[in-house]
Amino acid sequence: MDLQPWNRFFAEVSGRYQGRSAWLGESEKAAFAEFVASVDPADRVPLLLHAYERYRTSVGNDKTVKVRSLETDCQSVLISTILATKLQPTPDQAAAMLRHSFHTCGHGCDVQAPLLLAEKAFAGIPYSMDLFDAVAAYKETLRPAGGVSATNVKAQAGWILWHDVRSISKTCWSRNLQLGIQSLEPKEAFAWQWLLRNTSAAMTGSAGKAWMKEGTKRLAGVGADRFLTRLDEWFVFPASPSKMTPAGSNMLRLLVWYAQLADAERSLPILMRIARADWADKGPIGKVMNALAWILQQKHKPEYLPEIDRICTGWAGEISEVQRLELMYFPDRAAARVAAKREGADPRMSAVLETFSLFAAQLPQAAKFAEILKAAKRKPE
């Protein structure tokens, strides 16, 4: 790639500011956009990689002299401008972008862009070992960053690394899934990887419409019958407490959602093993229980009352769908819990409690719910 056009453009910008650091305004950013648009699309990724390297070096120099340089500002804007274009990286280029990426704060869409572009480059094909190494390097780069964007991206990087057959978890229950998928012949193994790459950062119990539409397509690659057969094989839980990592929890929740797509009636006996299992830490498994609770709300199954009781006893205090499930099956407990929270509740909880009460009023148990609240003699918020 010829760097002369960029060097000339940077010299022009530097001349306007006499080389001094300055906050680049909208007019300058428009000039950067015009410059990037003039760059051949095939040269944009190489230019981006060069910008990352120069940005990393420039930031290091700034720390030495304790002054932010104009080059640092210009390289930062160049990176953002290139990432805002419709890049089409190859798998090798996507891995290189992750290795070269550098950030100083962990905020903004630039942090997530390299990971999204990597997913785009590997759409429909298995992840490579080179990609796993690059994702691990990028996650390490973001380790000191504490921004919301960086935190989310580190979690998403963990979802990718969960598929690395060289790094099977030693403690998380989801190693059952990792080992099971690893034992399959390559075609079916990739079908499962592709299935579990339809990830979601949402904290809701139900899968969104967009996820379900894509999930239906990906489930067809495995087949509903084969999917349920594999789940029956892999969903084995020890008598001792099981541990769950955030990445493993995300994969297990995906399988709960896919089980509903495959056949909710046939999958429930298998899924209820999750509720009967003993979990060492209630936190990471919470999102899975939220998904289970949502399915159980759609399917009235009194025969699973012991499992529903375990879910509600363990997670009704923190998780919305479990709270609704508790209201359906144990309205007295739900009302008592809400009444207790109302007494001396933080004002920020008022909207939450009010929403829950409105939901309760729509259910057949509404009269009993209201009666218990009244008996508790709690003043409304």
The 3-class SS string of 32-75 reads HHHHHHHCCHHHHHHHHHHHHHHHHHHHHHHHHHCCCCHHHHHH
Residue 209 lies in a domain: yes
Residue 253 lies in a domain: yes
Q: pLDDT (tens digit, 9 = 90+) per residue, 31-63?
A: 999 999 999 999 999 999 999 999 999 988 877
Query: Residue 60 has what pLDDT?
Result: 87
Query: Residue 107 has what pLDDT?
Result: 73
Total tally of structural domains belonging to the chain: 1
Other Cβ atoms less than 10 A from the Cβ of 110: the count is 18
Sign of CA dihedral 11, 12, 15, 16: negative
Residue 36 lies in a domain: no
Mean pLDDT computed over every residue of the chain = 87
> Distance between CA atoms of 333 and 303, rounded to whole angstroms?
19
**Strand, coil or helix: what is 242?**
strand
Other Cβ atoms less than 10 A from the Cβ of 301: the count is 17
Structural domain boundaries enclosing 321:
167-329
Residue 40 lies in a domain: no
Query: Residue 368 has what pLDDT?
Result: 56
Residue 284 lies in a domain: yes
Alpha carbon distances (Å) from 190 to 95, 125, 170: 19, 8, 22
Q: Do 119 and 197 form a contact (C-beta atoms < 8 A)?
A: yes
Q: Do 271 and 292 form a contact (C-beta atoms < 8 A)?
A: yes
Residue 58 lies in a domain: no
Backbone angles phi, psi at 243, to 5 degrees: -100, 155
Other Cβ atoms less than 10 A from the Cβ of 373: the count is 19
Q: Which two tokens stand for residue 133?
A: 């190494």
Q: pLDDT (tens digit, 9 = 90+) per residue, 215-254?
A: 999 999 999 999 999 999 999 999 999 999 999 999 999 9
- To which H or E segment does residue 307 belong? helix 305-315
The ranges of the chain with pLDDT < 50 are: 348-351, 376-381
Model-level pTM? 0.85
Q: Which two tokens stand for residue 377?
A: 């003699």
Query: Residue 332 has what pLDDT?
Result: 86
Residue 68 lies in a domain: no
